[in-house]
Structure 1
């Protein structure tokens, strides 16, 4: 993992809490070379200007249905069943129940089905109640270069949207029972999936949506990708080394602890991952309550006094808009 001298991190945290969050965050430019973690929290040097494998990218764009969809339910909480698009038997002979909510979890770069966030969020749902939890494994391009993965996100997202349309047509599962949850690059991926379905899914949640190559990217997560779109920002990208996009991009945007530095975190990787930890906790306890903010300055100074809205949770009828700040505890469930 990336390590920083402790006194430097304390200095940075104090600076971040004292300096107003810039309103012009969209203008932030990352340096060419950055450090970005894989699913195990190991940092890798990324060249944001690297050449991509055009043959692989074009193949993915031609055929967006190469994703792996792994179903978990309370009947099979630990061993997955594979669902295959356009294979009705794979769905009808599985434990998929259209009367239960459907949750899709999408990982980020250099990750896969067993990356920590997947079982963590899966277990939060299945410990609480009946649900169809589908883990999307898109490692085929996610294990390549970062720039390639970024360019492939729209096609992979469209593939997920087409798969959910197939599930809807095969089982009758309504879009109003679907919640798409994505971390980092996966946040933009599920946004594209929701867009493929015309924004019909009940909820789309972006967990610290990735910042590098996304600030001015029209394919990023947006407010029209679902009936209700939420983003949770924990490692704002306008700060040195930040991994998340760090600005409001959804219907409702939450900035826990100011959205830059998280309690007990000494690295950006820890800050970044805190988004999925907070979300899983909110599914279990629905205890994280934000206050609406009128400006980024209020987020920074912790002076938000507007209406309240719960962050995260599993409520498919949840609605809201605006920017929200909340403070959390240092340890799970925060």
Structure 2
């Protein structure tokens, strides 16, 4: 079965404005040029071949190819590479165990240079002292979709092992660590949290991938961290995100399927990390708790209010929430 985004175009009935660039919109040729700016085109050509052939050879030792890039206020734009089992790379870096640590995991067909990383990184460093670690798992991410899905647990476990090593070298604390993942990256950080027995303070899943994940035992779940928050922006029946609630608190901006100002499913999907970055800076998007999916869809939720996203390490909420946003950043 193939899900081709160009065929989905007819289902969208939005007013046309500029569509955000990045993440799944980027093709493999561009990913092979890590210093190149990513173009706006080609986003209609993404093809999810759910019956594709798994590249078993690529999966061998795939977690060893993870790249961990540290940014702090001392090096806000020039990364320092941290290497597992190489304490010197960590001790000589700007990593400060007294500051909170945020790890960002991109999605499919992406790498360290795609927009999710810089937007969220800059939001955190603009807010306060933070260790921002960008996980580049490009070698798996640029493979076909079914291979990427198969390899996500191993890459996530590798991230968990890296965090454990980082803590052993620096004395950092699990309760100061926040894992943020987009699309396939959301399930990836879930597996990292599972490797760490759910001890990290928080996981935020940004529109976790839907295809091949609804019944997948390796998907993100509440036990993966002390608090798991999920932001759903393209959970439509034929969308790219998972529509079901899978965290402690699940937020459904504008109903959780289609986003104002978006013309494509990729725009809806990417909106999750744009919204999250905005909440880190402004903490201004407030959800209203809902009793059921009908209230979410009809915008009739009347429960308690609760903030979506933000940089709070020790927040905790339960339930489903609808958030209404504007169409342009900061929404």
Q: TM (normalized to structure 2)?
A: 0.89
Counterparts of 1:9-24 in structure 2, within 5 Å, are 9-10=12-13
CA contact (8 A) 1:236 1:259 kept: yes
2:105·2:134 contact (CA, 8 Å) conserved in 1? yes
How far has the Cα of 1:46 moved from its partner? 2.2
Question: Structure 1 runs of 4+ off > 3 angstroms?
Answer: 1-8, 36-41
Summarize deviations over 1:91-123 as a string: whole Å, max 9, x none: 000000000000000001110000011000000
1:271 and 2:268 equivalent?
A: yes
CA distance in 2, matches of 1:37, 1:212: 17
Aligned partner (choices 294, 313, 316) of residue 319 of structure 1: 316
How far residue 330 of structure 1 moved from its aligned partner, in angstroms, is 1.4
The Cα shift of 1:45 comes to 1.4
CA contact (8 A) 2:105 2:136 kept: yes
Q: State the partner residue of 2:214.
A: 215
In structure 2, runs of 5+ residues without a counterpart are: 16-23, 28-37
Give, in angstroms, the shift of residue 7 of structure 1: 8.3
For the aligned residue pairs, the C-alpha RMSD in angstroms reads 2.0
What is the deviation of 1:53? 1.2
Q: Distance in 2 between matches of 1:126 and 1:50?
A: 40
- Residue 155 of structure 1: aligned partner: 154
The number of equivalent residue pairs is 306
CA distance in 1, matches of 2:241, 2:281: 24
Distance 1:94 1:216, change over 3 A: same
Do 1:113 and 1:137's aligned partners in 2 also have CA atoms closer than 8 Å? yes
C-alpha contact 1:4 1:267 (8 A) present in aligned 2: no
* Residue 234 (structure 1) aligns with: 233
Q: CA 1:4 to 1:151, structure 2 compared with 1: closer, same or farther past 3 Å?
A: closer
How far the C-alpha of 1:326 sits from its partner, in A, is 1.0
Q: CA deviation at 1:47?
A: 1.1
Shift of 1:159: 0.3
> What displacement does 1:38 show?
3.8
Where does 1:281-300 land on structure 2 (aligned, <5 Å)?
Answer: 281-300=278-297
Structure 1 counterpart of 2:34: none
Residue 53 (structure 1) aligned with residue 52 (structure 2)? no
Q: Are 2:9 and 2:264, in contact at CA under 8 Å, matched by a contact in 1?
A: no
